[in-house]
Structures are given as C-alpha cells and as structure tokens.
Amino acid sequence: MSETSVAEKATSGAEEMTSVAEKTTCGAEKAASAAGKATSGASIELESLTKRYPGNPQPAVDNVNMEIKAGEIVVFVGPSGCGKSTTLKMINRLIEPTGGRIRIDGADVTDMDPVKLRRNVGYAIQASGLFPHMTVAQNIALVPKMIGWPAARIRSRVEEMLDLVGLDPGEFHGRYPRRLSGGQQQRVGVARALAADPPVLLMDEPFGAVDPITREHLQDELIRLQHELHKTIVFVTHDFDEAIKLGDRIAVLRERSHIAQFDTPEAILTNPADDFVSGFVGAGAALKRLNLTRVRDVEITDYPTVTVDDPLQQIFNKLRGSGVGEVLLLDEHGRPYKWLRRGDMMRARGSLARAGTLVHDTVTRDATLRDALEAVLTDNAGRVVVTGRRGEYTGVVDMETLMNSVHELLEADRLDAVEHQQELAETRARQTHGEQEGAGGEKA
C-alpha cells in the first residue's frame, strides 16, 4: 500500500518536472529572442597554480596544471581537505594564488582587479549563499546592478532567470529566502550566479546541503540548463556519483590538489589510473556506469497497447493476439494505466475498472539506466514502461534489453580503454625516441 503511494508521488513528481521543463524551455526561447544569444563558455587554463599558507611548509595546492575547454563541465572530486575547493576559489581569486597563472579565454586574469574578474565569473556555493535580508529578485539583480545595467533590463532579466531555473516569477519574485525550500534556494542561487550572463560558472558543492531527492532534481536541472547555455562550469564535489552524473570530464584530486586522473567519466570508471582513483571510484563501477547512459540510448521494445476508449471486444482480440499474453491499457491521454493479463478480464467479469494491475512506476526517456534497472527490479514482472514528456506511453524496457545494453556498453568501454592505452604508449614511445635523438644531436 505504502509502496504504491510512494510510487504515485514519484510519478506526479516526474510530471511536475516535465511541466517545469516545458515552461522553462519556452522561457529560455523568449529570453533568447529578447536578449539575442546568451554568452557561451570560455576556456580556462591553470598553469602551475600553487597556494602556500604562511607557516606551513607543505603547499595547500601544489602546481596544478589544467586546461578546461569552453562549454564543458569539469568536476573536481576528491576526499575532503584535498584542496579542490581552494583550487576552485583561486579561479575567481577568492583565494589569491601564491604562484602560477590563470587564463580565462586566453586572457591572463592573475593580476587583474579581482572585483572586476568576479563579476564575469558566476559563483554558486553550498546552501545557496542567498542574502536573507533581500528578496529573491533583489538577490538575482545584485550583479547586473553592480555592472550598471539599466533598471528595465534588470527587471526583465530577473524574470527570465527565474523562468530559466523553473520558478514562477510571479510567485517567487518578492519572497525572502527563508520562505523557500532548500531546493528552491539552490535554484535561486544558480539564477543569481548566471544573472549577468558570465561565460564561466564556478560551483562549490552547491548541492551538498539538500536532501538526496532534491539533489537529483537539481542535478537534472543543471544538465538541462547546460544543454541550453553551454557555459564553462567548474564544479566541486566529494560525491563521486554526482561527479559521474554531471561531468563531461572529471578531475580526481588527491592531497594538495595533485591530479590523480583527469578524464571522461567513462574512462575513469573503466580504466582508473591507479589504486587511489579506483579506491575513490569505489565498488560497483559497472553499476555506476549505468548512471552514464540514458534510457533513450538503449533499445526500447514495443508492447501491444489498448486504450480505455477501445471497445471490449477489441481488447479481447488484442489479448488473444499478443504473443506475451498481456497488453498495456492506456488512459484517454495515452498515458500508461494498467497491465492487463489474459485471465484478468474474466475475473473482473468484463469490467475494465476492476481488471488488471495498476502501472505504479514509469521512467522517462531521460532517466538513467540505473533508474530503469531499479524500476525493473521492483516490478513483479520485470519490465517498466517508458514515457515521453507528457507522461505518454513510448515503449517498454525489460530485464533482457537492459542486460544486453549493459554488456554492449562495458565491451565498448573496454575497447576504448585499450585503444586509449595504446595511443598513450605510442606517444610516450615517440617522446622518448625524440628525446634520445635530441640528446644525441646535442652530443654531436
């Protein structure tokens, strides 16, 4: 009983999300047409970035070199105290580096006025960092105001940003942060960071203080936002699963911010560079791999369906005709409603209202394979309905398709990894060769 109600809640939550996503999409379209094209990302280069604190012989961050491409999400992940946050804060110089250079979009920003630099770099932190004495609108308007936008433009920008992060401007505009839930605060925090349309966004464990369910939602939202905006995002977290979900590339950092491995999530999962990384990846790399693939990427099988408006005779025919002895009953909007088996109609004496078992769990095409597997495992017949944006039926995923897809994925990853290693070995060989020749030339 309780299971069903939870599942129902989850479904309605998913519907909410979909409608929010729709709203924001048209908001963003409006925005794009109103303000021209949004600024997309800029590249970031860190060159031997070092931070030493006085009185401490060991540097807190030691000689970090990293190139972050424009428009990608790079996640710094590592144990607490490894200097990932310090490294992030050096990018907008909240912490001044003691050595090394920072270049954003090719321009050296190591010595420019930090206040000016920060107005061009969005910054979102844990627990949102909203100013409690200002309304949501005032919080979002802060940076545009500081860089001197006219009032009318700021006003429309605030609405646009609220729309973008999926909050209704009319409802949330004048609210104070304490009257928002944790997830809503975090959304406003992201809206504030993006308000002046900076090319770079730094996020310091932004979702660390919200409950797991809200965190999942916020992560999904961030992925969607990034699809629209193409900012360069540097994201710090200690949660490896979050890193896998969000990162285009992940930098696994060990103490003093030494980069243990900097690669795509797939590569790190299937081919961790050393024991430290594999320790951090933890057990169950294959399971985590499921987080990287979406339901839309695997084969979705079609199922015989009938709708509640179909005449009973037709339903009987379908039931008899279907090879699996089961059909999916859709409601008037095309959404999955009930599973009908052959005997069900007899037992219910021909009444559709009483026959069959309710569909209590569905996944969207954007859900991860992990979610799908979870749903398949809890379903008593080992399959789950895949729905489209409005919750309408698009297909079914079952255990067999999942297994096949996972095998294919792992095999492909393995091949990639082998190829990657060969490439590395080749370049290394070429380098050594070149050095030897160079050395020989000097001698001669």
Partner 1 sequence: MDFWEYLGNRHQQLLTDAYYHASAVFQCMVVATVLGVLIGIVTYRSGWAGSLATTATSTVLTIPSLAMIGLLIPVVGLGVPPTVIALTLYGLLPIVRNSIVGLRGVDPALVDAATGIGMSRPARLVRIELPLAWPPILTGIRVSTQMLMGIAAIAAYASGPGLGNVIFRGLASLGSKNAINQVLAGTLGIIVLALLFDAAYVVIGRLTIPRGIRV
Contact flag: residue 177 with partner 1 (CB under 8 A):
yes
Chosen residue from 115, 283, 353, 444 binding partner 1 by CB under 8 A: 115
What six digits make up the tokens of 107? 């321009």
Q: Roughly how many angstroms between the first and final C-alpha of the chain, as a whole number? A: 85
Work out whether 273 is an interface residue with partner 1 (CB under 8 A). Answer: no
Query: Interface with partner 1 includes 126 (CB under 8 A)?
Result: yes
The closest alpha carbon to 127, from 201, 59, 221, 190, belongs to 190
Tell the smallest beta-carbon distance from residue 125 to partner 1 (Å): 6
The answer to whether residue 91 forms part of the interface with partner 1 (CB under 8 A) is no
Using the 8-state DSSP alphabet, how is residue 199 labeled? S
Report the residue number, 165 or 355, with the smaller CB distance to partner 1.
165
d(C-alpha 247, C-alpha 287), whole Å: 17
CB 255 within 8 A of CB 83: yes
Residue type, 54: P
- Return the beta strands (E) in 294-382 as ranges: 305-307, 326-330, 336-341, 357-358, 362-364
**Which of 6, 32, 96, 131 is the binder for partner 1 (CB under 8 A)?**
131
CB of 132 to partner 1, least distance (A): 5
Residue of 42, 60, 123, 229 that binds partner 1 (CB under 8 A)? 123
Helix (H) or strand (E) holding 251: strand 249-253
Is 234 or 319 the residue whose CB approaches partner 1 more closely? 234
Nearest to 396 by CA among 301, 329, 307: 301
Nearest Cα residue to 250 out of 242, 62, 63: 242
- In angstroms, what is the minimal distance from the CB of 90 to partner 1? 12
Specify the stretch interacting with partner 1 by CB under 8 A; choose among 16-24, 103-111, 131-139, 330-338.
131-139
Among 145, 124, 244, CA closest to 192: 124
Of 32, 34, 35, 146, the one binding partner 1 (CB under 8 A) is 146
By beta-carbon proximity to partner 1, the closer residue of 95 and 273 is 95
The least distance separating partner 1 from the CB of residue 187, rounded to whole angstroms, comes to 15
| 111 scored as a contact of partner 1 (CB under 8 A) | no
410, HSE (Cβ side, Cα atoms, 13 Å) = 12
Question: Is 96 one of the binding residues for partner 1 (CB under 8 A)?
Answer: no
Part in contact with partner 1 (CB under 8 A); list of ranges 63-71, 173-181, 311-319, 363-371? 173-181
Task: Rule CB under 8 A: say whether 173 interacts with partner 1.
Answer: no
Judged by CB under 8 A, the residue of 176, 241, 259, 374 near partner 1 is 176
Could you tell me which stretch among 2-10, 133-141, 232-240, 392-400 binds partner 1 (CB under 8 A)?
133-141
Member of 11, 92, 257, 261 binding partner 1 (CB under 8 A): 92
Question: If binding is defined by CB under 8 A, does position 237 make contact with partner 1?
Answer: no
In whole angstroms, give the CA distance from residue 93 to residue 146.
18
Is residue 370 near partner 1 by the rule CB under 8 A? no
Task: Please tell me the distance from the alpha carbon of residue 229 to that of residue 180, in angstroms, as a whole number.
Answer: 25
**Nearest distance from C-beta of residue 178 to partner 1, angstroms:** 6
CB atoms within 10 A of CB 197: 18
Judged by CB, which is closer to partner 1: 59, or 129?
129
Min dist CB 91 to partner 1, Å, is 11
- The number of beta carbons lying within 10 Å of the beta carbon of residue 19 is 14
Asked if 133 interacts with partner 1 (CB under 8 A), we say yes
All residues at 6 or more sequence positions from 144 whose CB lies less than 8 Å from its CB, including other chains:
153, 154, 157, 195, 196
Strands 357-358 and 121-125: unpaired
Contact call for residue 112 and partner 1 (CB under 8 A):
no
Q: Does 142 bind partner 1 (CB under 8 A)?
A: yes
- Interface with partner 1 includes 76 (CB under 8 A)? no
Of 202 and 225, which has the nearer Cβ to partner 1? 202
Write down the least CB distance from residue 189 to partner 1, Å. 8
Residues with Cβ within 8 Å of 177's Cβ and at least 6 positions away in sequence, in order, are 128, 130, 131, 132, 134, 136, 139, 185, 188
Nearer to partner 1, 113 or 435 (CB): 113
Are the beta carbons of 46 and 65 closer than 8 angstroms?
yes
CB-based burial, 347-378: b 16+ in 10 Å, e otherwise: eeeeebeebbeebbbbbbebbbbbbbbbbbee
* Interface with partner 1 (CB under 8 A), residue from 84, 157, 187, 192: 192
Q: Does 283 bind partner 1 (CB under 8 A)?
A: no
Binding residues for partner 1, per CB under 8 A? 92, 94, 115-120, 122-123, 125-127, 129-135, 142-143, 146, 176-178, 192-193, 202
